[in-house]
Amino acid sequence: MSGERAVYIVTGSSAGIGAACARRLAARGAGVVVNYTAGEAAAGEVAAACAAAGGEAIVVRGDVAVDLDCRALADAALAHWGRLDGLVNNAGITVFAPHHNLDALDLADFQRLYAVNVVGPYQMARAVAPALSRRGGAIVNVSSMAGLSGEGSSIAYAASKGALNTLTLSLARALAPAIRVNAICPGLVQTRWTAAALGAEVAARRVAAWEAAAPLGRVLTPEDVADAVVWLLDAQGVTGEILRLDGGMHLGPVPTRAR
């Protein structure tokens, strides 16, 4: 057991944004709990990359919608390192449904999305709060611009991320001053998941449209999001913030760029 490393749990960290967060933290010498629900091999690869970057990682399977799994993630970090410094609530799911087709969603869709995207972060925060309180730790919830705009892959998804933003504010008040709680709201992020979910052709069109409209002229990478997450974990004077990370897209259409 090592008490010297800062230690973080990153939920849903076998790929995408979660994996990028785990690697960024490990590169600073941190211990990281790499969490997955499916894809054990991918989680193992992330853990190996964390070790290669100079950190240390353990792999723990768990569904954040299950309270006992959340408590097991916290227990695993404490059993291995004896401390816990931060939590990245990254695990999330969606369902794709046209917003105009209200029959495309049912009760089960909403319940599952809320169980993972809202109840899961709450349960994780509750599970880690005693340990984080001892160290003055931090929680970052990975939300979405959909939670601010009402757009996104489905109404159920946007609503769940809006609820996560509100949860962030409530937890920031409830856990202060010992624990800081913030959320980050990425816009379009280019990942393998995006292409797989939308199809390569649709994903390419969406990326091109984003690049044409966003003031910064590009879509986000998982590493962009991870950089912002790590900053929020460190930012001692920041709590209760809902940070937009969308390349300036919220500013609206920009004039044609000079070539």
Catalytic residue numbers, as ranges:
157
User: Among 55, 155, 37, which Cα is nearest to 105's?
Assistant: 155
Q: If DSSP codes are grouped into helix, strand and coil, which group holds residue 72?
A: helix
- Is 33 within 8 Å of 82 (Cβ atoms)? no
As a whole number of Å, the end-to-end CA separation of the chain is 56
Q: How far apart are CA 247 and CA 53, in angstroms?
A: 28
